[in-house]
Amino acid sequence: MSAKLIDGKTVARESNARVAAITAELKARHGLVPGLTVVLVGDDPASKVYVGSKEREAKAAGMNSTAHRLPATATQIELLALIARLNADPTVHGILVQLPLPKQIDSGAVIEALDPDKDVDGFHTVNTGRLWSAGGGLVPCTPQGCMLLLKRALPQTAGAHAVVLGRSIIVGKPVAALLLGADCTVTLAHSKSRDLPAICRGADVLVAAVGRPGMVRGDWIKPGAVVIDVGINRLADGKLAGDVAFAEAKAVAGAITPVPGGVGPMTIACLLRNTLIAACRQAGLPQPAL
Ligand code: NAP
């Protein structure tokens, strides 16, 4: 068997086109231009690249896209003052503070200072609470991207056993909440879990988010399972690798996301979706039909 590839680039492109079309319609019919502001503190090279891409893609979708770049020496008080201004600015519908922040700044306090309705990363505890309760909040981008990819490979998720490897606040836990919301039976595994290969072999859906290149081997995978590989690991030779041993897994799984080109492109696509949703909610308009 050779697994079907789930092409994140194509799914992201289709999503971005839909976001751009709805954005144009909002502008024409309501004079509403969704606004995304990204805040970068310091000059971490990877963060600079991410912020540049987010700014560019929001602009390409027809949104108001701005970035605030603060020096690495910025204080928490300065950052909180900027967030207070952005919270109060009606042209800003989504605020994203690029992580990690320099060590003098408490990132938890910064995230909690965001207006939850503008928290397009979905990390504010109000959005976390909504995700695990009645829903209706802003959903973290990478987990949302995983679900959109899963839907392509497995339209009917009810009753499927989903195993999530990794329990971070950014990926593992929110993915588990979304899978539960999609009526899967969910196992959330981590570094203290016993016999990971056996746990994984029971999975109809396997989401790997551990940050360890090639950790999930082919014989951990149930034949025909859907494998969503969130890992982005830079190898010594400069190449990127996922958390799943791709060639081995491809021979067993029913469908699998490649790295790169799987979950990665979905993160910014979902950031744009969240910005659009936030703008509609703040303007009192119905949820966009994404
Ligand atoms: P993280 O915060 O470091 O969390 C890693 C999780 O994996 C933890 O829950 C940890 O367990 C678990 N883990 C680590 N080693 C393990 C092992 N040997 N066996 C079982 N569980 C183990 O990482 P993250 O932020 O969730 O990111 C995970 C991966 O996804 C990384 O490669 C990251 O680059 C990638 N990522 C990609 C995107 C994207 O595609 N846009 C976005 C975010 C992250 P404990 O909790 O027990 O320590």
Query: What digits encode the pLDDT tens for the residues 114-146?
Result: 999 999 999 999 999 999 998 999 999 999 999
Q: To test ligand 1's pocket by mutation, which of 210, 230, 259 has the most ligand atoms within 8 angstroms of CB?
A: 210
Per-residue model confidence (pLDDT) at position 1: 72
Selecting among 54, 173, 222, 250, the annotated active-site residue is 54
Residue 66 pairs in a beta bridge with 37
Q: Helix or strand or coil: residue 230?
A: coil
Ligand 1 centroid to 215 CA: how many Å?
11
Is residue 220 classed exposed, middle or buried when 0-12, 13-18 and 19+ CB atoms within 10 A define those classes?
buried
Q: To test ligand 1's pocket by mutation, which of 139, 146, 191 has the most ligand atoms within 8 angstroms of CB?
A: 191
> For residues 242 and 248, what is the distance between their CA atoms, to the nearest angstrom?
13
Percent of the chain with pLDDT over 70: 100
The residue whose C-alpha atom lies closest to atom 12 belonging to ligand 1 is: 166
Q: Helix or strand or coil: residue 269?
A: helix
Please confirm, yes or no, whether 144 is among the known catalytic residues: no
Closest atom of ligand 1 to CA, residue 190? 21
Long-range contacts of residues 185-191, Cβ cutoff 8 Å, at least 24 apart: 185/159, 185/160, 185/161, 186/162, 187/161, 187/162, 187/163, 188/164, 189/163, 189/164, 189/165, 190/165, 190/166
Per-residue model confidence (pLDDT) at position 15: 98
Which residues of the chain fall short of a pLDDT of 50?
Answer: none
The residue whose C-alpha atom lies closest to atom 19 belonging to ligand 1 is: 191
Selecting among 115, 117, 119, 121, the annotated active-site residue is 121
Instruction: Give which of 127, 137, 209, 152 is closest to 175, Cα–Cα.
Output: 209
Closest atom of ligand 1 to CA, residue 192? 47
Contact 267, 259 (CB under 8 A): no
Per-residue model confidence (pLDDT) at position 232: 97
What residues line ligand 1, using a CB cutoff of 6 Å?
142, 165-168, 170-172, 190-192, 196, 209-212, 230-233, 263-264, 267
Phi, psi of 241 (to 5 degrees): -135, 150
Please confirm, yes or no, whether 43 is among the known catalytic residues: no
The residue whose C-alpha atom lies closest to atom 48 belonging to ligand 1 is: 191
First to last CA, the chain: 34
Residue 234 pairs in a beta bridge with 240
> For residues 101 and 71, what is the distance between their CA atoms, to the nearest angstrom?
11
Residue 268, token pair as written in the block: 């910014």
Please confirm, yes or no, whether 59 is among the known catalytic residues: no
